[in-house]
Amino acid sequence: MTQTEMAEHARAMCRAVDVPVIADADTGYGGPLNIRRAVADYVQAGVAALHLEDQVSPKRCGQLAGVKVIPLAEAEARLKAALDARDEFGDVIVIARTDALPGSGIDVAVDRARRYADLGVDLVFIDGVKTRAEVEAIAMRVDGPKVISIVDGTDAAQLDLKTLDEMGFALCLYAVTGLFAGLAAQSAAFAALRSSGSLPALDYDYGRFCELIGLEPHQSFAHRHEAGDET
């Protein structure tokens, strides 16, 4: 996805909710000017925080094999550009993410996180975590505010929020939990329909759905301003 697509998705999310939105800024989408524009667009979209990573471009999901990172000096330059752009365009939390763990190991990942923290970012984030041992190592070896991302189905997912809080993590991302839960619910509903020929009992009906998405104010506005029947 491109920078403009990501910024538009972030803007739509900010308009739809009244809680802080954390947006993925990927690799910054290019050089210093691209990073500057990304920060400007994300601030204008209304995000509370963004995270910028040190993968090569084009990037891939941090949980996949074959993730590669750029040289440390280049990664630091990305973050410096983002911090300067933040000073120029507005208040946004900058999270420095490293994807060095899967390919280079915990020592390199921890070293990068520490170096990024020294630049003045708000939080550091080691991605690609799969085991409890990795979470514990990050907790013990990386000081200051830090982020952890928990992926359903991994060994690390056995850790609950209370434990993660006690380990010193300021923020926990459950990036795919809603996606997986939604897919599981859809699969179960249609499997029940196929096997029984009847609709399964669901927690939602159309009225509750309309209430959830806030349909009524839109309908009321449209009805107030529709042309009258002049026949």
Contact 138, 127 (CB under 8 A): no
Contact 55, 68 (CB under 8 A): yes
- The CA radius of gyration of the chain, in Å to the nearest whole number, is 22
Catalytic residue (one of 14, 61, 172, 210): 61
Tallying the residues shown for the chain, one arrives at 231
- Cis-peptide into 58, omega within 30 deg: yes
* Single-letter code of the amino acid located at 24: D
- CA pair distance 158, 131, nearest whole angstrom: 9
Q: Check if 14 is active-site.
A: no
Q: Half-sphere exposure of residue 96, counting CA atoms within 13 Å on the CB side? A: 30
Contact 108, 99 (CB under 8 A): no
**Residues involved in catalysis:** 61
